Amino acid sequence: MVKRICILVLIVFVSLVIAACERGDYDNRSLVPDECAHLGNIGDWQPVWCDEFEEDGLPDPDRWGYDVGGHGWGNQELQYYTDADPNNAFIEDGILHIRALRTSQGGNDYTSARLVSKWRGDWEYGRIQVKARMPSGRGVWPAIWMLPTENRYGGWPKSGEIDIMEYVGYNPGLIHGTIHTDEYNHMHGTQIGYSKEVPTAEDEFHVYEMIWEPRRIELFIDGERFAIFGYNPLTNIDVENYAAWPFDQPFHLILNLAIGGTWGGAQGVDDSIFPQMMEVKYVRVFQKDYAAMDEEPPTPPGEITIQKTGPDHIRFMWDHAEDDVMVHRYEIFVDDELVGDTTLNAFNVTNLDPATEYEISIQAVDFAKNRSDAQSITVETDSP
């Protein structure tokens, strides 16, 4: 009798395990570290990195480092960024203060701080929330933004920049969100940006938020979306994929308060306003466990459209595949040989022979590394 019960229990247990696997059950807190356990999920987004600024003193060195110096930072800025100086970066009563002072250092007339999470917090895709209050006065230029950690495509702007929030004091109550790439950046006047009026930006704390997933970035203020960025293969036929959309690599977060500069100082600096502070109540980063959530392989990519051919290249696009969670990337094959991959829905194959017929194939791959069936087309390069 005991043996029969044990066998029945074992059968039931195995059945439950199989059913769980078939349902695709996963641990929806699998990514959450102990220090963020007090935060709840936002849907499928799990808290993976956070700073609530609970201990007075300098910012936590396990979470934040500093960019240091006073060389203008590519924007003719006037401040010297100090290194762990409590005059410029400190936590008090649960709030991080980034303070700009009218103090000379390193040949600069102002000091401030630029906190970076680099090598302490780096993320490829995620949801970031920063609750902050802006400084005021002509000449201040605070920002909540991101730069690539590894610069896979080269130095700025080749590897991209994401400005979650920028603010210039001479234009109070107006928040800006922008992306910069090799093709689209402020040096060419081609940056892509949006603005939103927030009349109480200097008086009240607001949540500045970014949601970044493959091929898409969205910006929000207090939960209201004000910016959407994406990739359009029709308008980037002659642009390399990385030059239009380099946002497929780890980025880190930056919190800083600049003084003056090409934008912040466009109307000069009012020296009577100092000291000035950007105040931050918390920084929270969320991510999805895409691979663990996934149950099915993607559908094949849609029909391939040839956009441009030459004697040595073929440029083509396709409709996105669909997946139960998220397509991670597309693998590109020429005559069954893998020649590259991309997160986008366009590709330019080069180094081909003229007047030669090739079979182009594309497979979608999700985060669990499930592959779709291939979509293929036969194309001939141009004669020389």
Sign, CA dihedral 42-46-49-51, equals positive
Q: What distances in angstroms separate CA 111 from CA 192, 202, 301, one per listed residue?
A: 30, 21, 53
Nearest to 31 by CA among 309, 286, 372: 286
Which percentage of the chain shows pLDDT scores above 90?
A: 92
Please state, in angstroms and rounded to a whole number, the distance separating the CA atoms of residues 337 and 252.
35
Q: State pLDDT tens for residues 279-306.
A: 999 999 999 999 999 999 999 999 999 9
Categorise residue 199: left if φ over 0, alpha if ψ from -120 to 50, beta otherwise.
alpha
Classified as helix, coil or strand, 10 is helix
Task: Give one DSSP letter per residue of 278-316, joined into a string.
Answer: EEEEEEEEEE--HHHH--SPPPPP--EEEEEE-SS-EEE
Do 364 and 326 contact (CB within 8 A), yes or no? no
Is 322 part of the annotated catalytic residue set? no
Q: Mean pLDDT across the stretch 312-329?
A: 97
4, containing H or E segment:
helix 2-23
Over 50: is that where the pLDDT of 12 sits? Answer: no
* Active-site entry in 22, 35, 124, 166: 166
pLDDT band at 11 (very low <50, low <70, confident <90, very high): very low
Over 60: is that where the pLDDT of 238 sits? Answer: yes
Classified as helix, coil or strand, 301 is coil
Backbone phi, then psi, for 292, in 5-degree steps?
A: -70, -30
Is 166 part of the annotated catalytic residue set? yes
Q: State pLDDT tens for residues 155-176.
A: 999 999 999 999 999 999 999 9
292, containing H or E segment:
helix 290-293
Q: How many degrees, rounded to 5, is the angle at CA 287 between CA 231 and CA 230?
A: 10
Nearest to 151 by CA among 184, 188, 122, 171: 122
pLDDT at 26: 86
Classified as helix, coil or strand, 36 is helix
CA dihedral 16, 19, 20, 22 (to 10 degrees): 160
Q: Letter for the amino acid at 161?
A: E
β-strand partners of 342: 330
**What structural domains and CATH numbers belong to the chain?**
34-288 (2.60.120.200), 296-380 (2.60.40.10)
Non-local CB neighbours of 6 within 8 Å, separated by 6+ positions: none
* Active-site entry in 35, 54, 55, 161: 161
Backbone phi, then psi, for 19, in 5-degree steps?
A: -65, -40
Q: Mean pLDDT across the stretch 245-271?
A: 98
